[in-house]
Structure 1
Amino acid sequence: MPRRAAPSFHLVARVRAWFSLTYAELGLYLGVSATLLQGIETGSRRLTPAVAMALLPLAR
């Protein structure tokens, strides 16, 4: 039986949940791909400084 993934509390996940955005919608706003955001949220990619700075206005 496959294990369930732990819920993500990453900043990307919180912003997406708060604004009810898809990866594609948030990626369009941030100027990055949906795949990159998904990777950041799941932990397979690192949050870049540029993406972090672009997320700050949404996280306040």
Structure 2
Amino acid sequence: MKSALLVFSSGETGAITVDWVVLSAAAVGMALAVITLVAGGSNQSSLQTSDVLSGYEIDDEFDTR
């Protein structure tokens, strides 16, 4: 029984799976952080653009003579 536990504890066949899970979780976490930062900045920029464009008046009366 002891040798079976030693063989089981020394086996590393699933260790790479754990590494990939941790690396994938870190990549997803960093992507979410970047999306949060970029979304805030783009929202502010679009509001400023909207303010500028809402001040323009379009002349729709054309001289047809």
TM-score by length of structure 2 reads 0.17
Q: Over alpha carbons, which structure has the higher Rg?
A: 2
TM-score by length of structure 1 reads 0.18
Higher relative CO (Cα under 8 Å, sequence separation at least 6) belongs to: 1
